[in-house]
C-alpha cells in the first residue's frame, strides 16, 4: 500500500501555541506519518501552552489516528521577529515573558537544536506564523510601521528561518510555509499590509526553492489554505463570515478542516512529494478557482 512514511524523520514546526491552529494540525499529521516533533512557541504563549499540556487540558486533541498521543521532543520559546539575541532590543530581552528563556531568537533555537540533537538534526521545517499589528485597518489607513511589521513577522521571518535552519537539514529536507488567497485577490477587511506580506511569502517561496535546492538540496513549498477559525485568525474580526462565504461559493461547498491542511503538509514533506518544490498548493475546496460568486450573501434588512 502506498503511504506517507516519515519514519525516522524529525520535524520542527514554528508557530504552535495551542491545539486550534494549522501548526498543531500539521504537527499531528507529521507524527501520524512517523516523524518526531519539536515545536517553536511564541514566548508570551509558552507558559500557557506548556501548562495546557502538563495538566492534560488538551489531551483529546493530542490523540493520534493510529493510536497513542502526539508528543513533543522539545518545545522551544521562539519569536521569529528576532534573528539573533544580540540584535534584539534590551526591553524585549528584559521583558518578564522573555527573560526566562536563554535565547528565543531564530539563531538561538537553531543553536539549541544542534546542542540537543547534533549537527544536522532536522528533515522538515514548517513556518506556521503570521502577524500584522494593524490587520484590522484598511491599507489606506495602515502606518509604515504596521505595514513593515506585517512583512517582518509574516514573510521575512520565513527567509530568516530558511537561512538559519538550512544547514540543519539532512539530505532530502523540506521547508513549508502557509499563505492565504489575499496574496492575489482582494479580501476586504484583511488589511494592515497582510495581503502584501502573503504575496511576498509566495514570491520568496519560489526564489528560496531555487537557492535552497542548489545550496542544501532541500525543497521549499507553500500551502494556501482556506479560511479557518483559529484563535489567531480572530484578530481579523470577521473570520466566521469569511468561512461561510468560502463554503457557499467553493466547487466543494463545504468548509475546510485543519486536518486536511495537515495531510497536505505531510505529503509535501514526504518522499511522495520529492519532485515538488517552489509550489503553492491550494487546500481550500477549490475556492481559488472561482471567478464569480454563485451564492451571494443575502441583502441586509433594516
* pLDDT tens readout for residues 175-184: 999 999 999 9
Contact between 22 and 136 (Cβ < 8 Å): no
Q: Which whole number is the average pLDDT over 152-159?
A: 98
Q: In 129-162, which positions are buried (b, 16+ CB within 10 angstroms) versus exposed (e)?
A: bbbbbbbbbebeebeeebbebbbbbbbbbbbbbb
CA distances from 252 to 107, 157, 255, 289 (A): 42, 33, 8, 11
Provide the pLDDT confidence category of residue 302 given band limits of 50, 70 and 90: very low
- Would you tell me the crossing angle of helices 194-216 and 144-151 to the nearest 10 degrees? 30
List, by residue number, the catalytic residues. Answer: 180, 190
Provide the pLDDT confidence category of residue 125 given band limits of 50, 70 and 90: very high
Asked if pLDDT for residue 63 goes beyond 90, the answer is yes
Asked if pLDDT for residue 94 goes beyond 80, the answer is yes
Q: Which whole number is the average pLDDT over 272-291?
A: 97
For residue 166, the cross-strand partners are none
Mean pLDDT over all residues of the chain? 94
CA distances from 59 to 52, 54, 71, 108, 112 (A): 9, 10, 11, 30, 27
Please state which of the four CATH numbers 3.40.50.720, 3.60.20.10, 3.30.70.3270, 3.40.50.2300 is assigned to the domain occupying 10-287: 3.40.50.720
At 12 the three-state DSSP class reads strand
Q: Which whole number is the average pLDDT over 167-177?
A: 98
State the Cα–Cα distance between residues 28 and 4, nearest whole angstrom: 13
- Where are the chain's structural domains? 10-287
Q: Which whole number is the average pLDDT over 254-282?
A: 97
Q: In 269-298, which positions are buried (b, 16+ CB within 10 angstroms) versus exposed (e)?
A: bbeebeeebbbbbbbbbebbeeeeeeeeee
pTM, two decimals, is: 0.94
Q: Which whole number is the average pLDDT over 30-53?
A: 97
Q: In terms of pLDDT, which residue wins out, 228 or 183?
A: 183
pLDDT given at position 301 = 47
C-alpha cell at 10: 524529525
Amino acid at each position: 500500500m502506498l503511504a506517507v512514511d516519515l519514519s525516522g524523520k524529525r520535524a520542527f514546526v514554528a508557530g504552535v501555541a495551542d491545539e486550534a491552529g494549522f501548526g498543531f494540525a500539521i504537527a499531528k499529521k507529521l507524527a501520524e506519518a512517523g516523524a518526531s516533533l519539536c515545536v517553536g512557541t511564541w514566548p508570551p504563549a509558552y507558559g500557557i501552552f506548556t501548562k495546557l499540556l502538563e495538566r492534560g487540558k488538551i489531551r483529546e486533541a493530542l490523540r493520534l489516528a493510529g493510536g497513542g498521543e502526539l508528543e513533543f521532543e522539545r518545545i522551544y520559546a521562539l519569536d521569529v521577529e528576532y534573528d539573533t539575541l544580540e540584535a534584539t532590543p534590551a526591553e524585549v530581552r528584559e521583558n518578564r515573558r522573555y527573560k526566562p528563556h536563554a535565547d528565543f531568537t531564530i539563531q538561538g533555537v537553531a543553536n539549541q537544536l544542534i546542542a540537543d540533537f547534533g549537527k544536522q538534526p532536522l528533515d522538515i521545517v514548517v513556518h506556521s506564523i503570521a502577524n500584522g499589528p494593524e490587520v484590522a485597518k484598511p491599507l489606506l489607513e495602515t502606518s509604515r510601521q504596521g505595514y513593515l511589521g506585517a512583512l517582518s513577522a509574516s514573510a521575512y521571518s520565513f527567509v530568516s528561518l530558511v537561512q538559519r535552519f538550512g544547514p540543519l537539514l539532512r539530505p532530502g529536507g523540506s521547508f513549508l510555509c502557509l499563505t492565504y488567497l489575499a496574496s492575489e485577490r482582494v479580501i476586504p477587511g484583511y488589511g494592515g499590509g497582510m495581503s502584501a506580506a502573503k504575496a511576498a511569502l509566495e514570491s520568496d517561496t519560489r526564489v528560496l526553492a531555487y537557492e535552497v535546492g542548489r545550496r542544501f538540496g532541500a525543497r521549499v513549498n507553500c500551502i494556501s489554505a482556506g479560511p479557518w477559525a483559529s484563535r489567531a485568525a480572530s484578530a481579523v474580526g470577521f473570520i466566521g463570515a469569511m468561512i461561510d462565504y468560502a463554503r457557499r461559493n467553493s466547487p466543494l461547498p463545504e468548509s475546510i478542516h485543519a486536518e486536511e491542511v495537515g495531510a497536505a503538509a505531510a505529503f509535501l514533506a514526504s518522499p511522495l512529494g520529492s519532485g515538488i518544490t517552489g509550489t503553492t498548493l491550494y487546500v481550500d475546496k477549490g475556492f481559488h478557482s472561482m471567478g464569480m460568486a454563485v451564492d451571494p450573501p443575502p441583502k441586509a434588512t433594516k
